[in-house]
Structure 1
Amino acid sequence: MTEQAKVPAIRFAGFTDPWEQRKLGDCFEFLKSNTLSRAGLNGENGTARNVHYGDILIKFGDCLDDERSDLPFITDDTVLPKYAGSILREGDVIFADTAEDETAGKCVELRKLPKEPTISGLHTIPARPRFPFGTGYLGHYLNSDAYHRQLLPLMQGIKVISVSKAALQDTQVRFPGLSEQSAIGAALNEIDSLITLHQRKYDKLVIFKKTMLEKMFPKDGESVPEIRFAGFTDPWEQRKL
């Protein structure tokens, strides 16, 4: 996006208005997060769910769809009442404020939350938009280089790098009109779906190749493999390397 025009180099047809720019602190209100470690969570049951910073950094993409997320439960049922005013909603975003590298500040936009109340966990900064944004826009934008490079000079630490809430508040957020936001979010969500589809195909091919490697070469003490191409019947030769 150029500074003069305040518009991106590529846009969907029909959109010509300049983008708006505001401080993040003017666009979001911050919610409370808990300090529960993995030891305080479980994958079986509970009255509330938890979003852990490690999952934001490693497991989740730009947008969190609970159908694929497996959010852990909070083991202690007395925790939830303390965060009654910070129960997460669809459209909220959560930053991971700590990482071992410059991925600190990675963000996830919440979509399709589970039926149980969900709260933000250890080393996270949950934020709620003060006005509507298009579905998927914030998750993709706040993880883009266009936004994330603002965080690099604000990061502190050596072995563990962190970004503070105060630092986030002063960063600049850029966005077009709501309909263009929605178009951008939908397009990037579709690309994510394609990536997931091809990733599944890749995973299956890796397993298939591993199986073939086990069956297409003779095992110790045998002269032929378990699986051969049609038409080949001669025993394999064996020599010292």
Structure 2
Amino acid sequence: MSEKNNNVPAIRFAGFTDAWERRKLGDVVKDVSGNDGRTDLPILTISASLGWLEQKERFSQVIAGNQLQNYTLLRKGELSYNHGNSKLAKYGVVIELKDLNEALVPKVYHSIKCSKYANPTFLEYLFWSKIPDGELGKLISSSARMDGLLNISKQAFLGINITIPSVIEQTQIGNFFKQLDDTIANHQRELEKYKNLKISYLEKMFPKENEAFPELRFPNFTDAWERRKLGEIVEFYSGLTYSPSNVIDNNLGTLVLRSSNIQNSTLILDDNVYVNSNCVNSQNVEIGDIVVVVRNGSKNLIGKHAIVDKSMSNTVIGAFMTGIKYSNFDFLNALLNTEHFNYEIEKNLGATINQITTGAFKDMFFYFPTLPEQTQIGNFFKQLDDTIANHQRELEKYQKIKLAYLEKMFV
């Protein structure tokens, strides 16, 4: 690929130098409407985040009802514009039918097919680039209707201006983004696979309620697990209470970890808060500490936790969190991922505020195996967590790559 700084995209494939041409959408696509009476075809709907979905999958039932005869017959390679407003797509989305030969789609979508001057995959990604949003925004004379659809007619949609290259270049661009999406989908599948594996192993490698033996364990371990109060096993420490006057605008003070710093069971240092170090009377977090949210406005955040996996000088936890120290911290982290921990949280939540007191946390009962078995279990889940984190990083990397190319490969 070569970079350009003129009226063509910033990045394009080698061998293409001609300026892109401004055309009416209706000059390069044709209207698709009506059907041939068949009702035994897949009945689809568009999700801005997931693309085409069967209505049964999206809504748990077919919502077409007696309107199915009015649906549009869409064929492979044709596209539909769902002009519905959403957080992900303010002006709607255009999606190509790729995985099915034929389907029925709502008549309310503006369905089109490409002439010899346009490539359908390219058009889909052109709309994902958000560049046509400026044209679509001009068409809206009022807010979204009660059904969420923007007041954009098909005639007006076909009248918008787009800038496109030759069909050969369109095809290369479309194929490039399709390969990127396939890579993203693969990492998404792998991520979900390992997340589901973790859930399954957590269910089987820790004893069920009121049982002292797990369903699955490593060889040579046969002893019953011992039921103990958490406070008898681990060491707790409290977070820092500070006032707004202690907060400073730079990172020269002490970093205070809050619930927002825990994402996907990992510490993410975004949206950080620093306080004047003179006000700090709490202990610094250390490698292996587990930090847990114990008070929050959202009930669902109680119990969210992460391991401190690197040295963090001048860093403490906030008052709505608690810190836990334990030698086999990887085992303890896995233990806090079990459904039993969720059960203990539900049982001990405050009646009037979403919080777990330190006393209640210490009094939670868990089953513990011998230290050698804890070590093996902890190592196993650490490797599983590392694999999940790797796929998460790869997924986010390719998602960012896609966004960057969407900004630079279209006009």
- Residue 92 (str. 1) matches residue 78 (str. 2): yes
- What is aligned with 1:138? 123
- Pick from 48, 71, 91 the counterpart of residue 57 of structure 1: 48
Q: TM-score, normalised by structure 2?
A: 0.44
- Pick from 100, 105, 116 the counterpart of residue 92 of structure 2: 105
What secondary structure is seen at the aligned counterpart in 1 of 2:198? helix
Shift of 1:203: 1.7
- Residue 127 (str. 1) matches residue 112 (str. 2): yes
Contact preservation (8 Å) 2:30, 2:112: yes
- Residue 236 (str. 1) matches residue 222 (str. 2): no
- What is aligned with 2:194? 205
What secondary structure is seen at the aligned counterpart in 1 of 2:77? coil
Pair 1:233–1:149, CA change in 2 (3 A): farther
- What is aligned with 1:20? 21
Contact preservation (8 Å) 1:104, 1:163: no
Distance (whole Å) between structure 2 residues aligned to residue 149 and residue 211 of structure 1: 47
- Residue 157 (str. 1) matches residue 143 (str. 2): yes
- What is aligned with 2:169? 180
Contact preservation (8 Å) 2:22, 2:164: yes
Shift of 1:162: 0.8
- What is aligned with 1:42? none
Shift of 1:221: 2.2
Shift of 1:172: 1.8
Segment drifting more, 16-25 vs 124-133: 124-133
Shift of 1:169: 3.0
Contact preservation (8 Å) 1:98, 1:104: yes
Shift of 1:47: 4.2
- Residue 5 (str. 1) matches residue 9 (str. 2): no
User: 1:29-40, aligned counterparts within 5 Å?
Assistant: 29-32=30-33
Contact preservation (8 Å) 1:175, 1:181: yes
Identical residues among aligned pairs (%): 29
Contact preservation (8 Å) 1:91, 1:111: yes
What secondary structure is seen at the aligned counterpart in 2 of 1:111? coil
CA deviation digits over 1:203-228, x for unaligned, max 9? 21121111111122222222343333
Pair 1:199–1:226, CA change in 2 (3 A): same
Contact preservation (8 Å) 1:216, 1:226: yes
What secondary structure is seen at the aligned counterpart in 2 of 1:162? coil
- Which one has the largest radius of gyration? 2
Contact preservation (8 Å) 2:86, 2:92: no
User: 1:72-87, aligned counterparts within 5 Å?
Assistant: 79=69, 87=73
Amino acid at match of 1:147: P
Can you give the 5+ residue segments of structure 2 that lack an aligned partner in the other structure? 54-61, 230-362, 365-411
Amino acid at match of 2:111: P
Pair 1:87–1:216, CA change in 2 (3 A): closer
Can you give the 5+ residue segments of structure 1 that lack an aligned partner in the other structure? 35-44, 65-71
Pair 1:211–1:56, CA change in 2 (3 A): closer
Amino acid at match of 1:9: A
Amino acid at match of 2:92: G
Amino acid at match of 2:173: I
Pair 1:168–1:123, CA change in 2 (3 A): same
How many positions carry a matched residue from both structures?
213
Pair 1:162–1:220, CA change in 2 (3 A): same
